[in-house]
Chain A
Amino acid sequence: MKKILVTGGCGYIGAHTVVDLLENGYDVISIDDNSRSSNYLLDGIEQITGKKIKNYKVDLKNFDETLAVFQENEDISGIIHFAAYKAVGESVNEPLSYYENNLFSVINILKCVKEFAIPHFVFSSSCTVYGNPDVIPVTESSPVKKAESPYGATKQMGEVIVEDYAKASFCNAILLRYFNPVGAHPTILIGELPLDKPQNLVPVITQCAIGKISQMTIHGHD
Chain B
Amino acid sequence: MINRQNKSNCEIFNLGSGNGVTVLEAIKAFEKVSGKTLNYTVGPRRSGDVVAIYANNDFAKSVLNWEIKYDLDDMMQTAWDWELKIKKEEDLIKAQNHVLN
Residues of A within 8 A of B (CB): 78, 88-89, 91-92, 120, 122, 125, 127-128, 130-133, 136-140, 148-152, 159, 162-163, 166-167, 170-180, 182-186, 188, 191-193, 201-203, 205-210, 214-222
Do residues A174 and B11 form an inter-chain contact, with CB atoms below 8 A? yes
With A88-B48, A137-B54, A205-B26 known to touch, is A127 a contact of B14 (CB < 8 Å)? yes
* Residue pair B80, A209 in contact (C-beta under 8 Å): yes
Confirm or deny: B100 has a beta carbon within 8 angstroms of a beta carbon on chain A. no
Overall SS of chain A's interface = mixed
Instruction: Please provide the chain B residues from 1 to 42 with a CB less than 8 Å away from any CB of chain A in the complex.
Output: 1-2, 9-18, 20, 22-24, 26-27, 30, 34, 36, 38-42
Judged by DSSP, the binding face of B is: mixed
Contact A179/B50 with A215-B40, A218-B24 known, Cβ cut-off 8 Å: no
The interface size of chain B toward A, counting residues with CB under 8 Å, comes to: 57
Chain A min CB distance to B15 (Å): 5
A184 touches B55 (CB 8 A): no
A214 touches B13 (CB 8 A): no
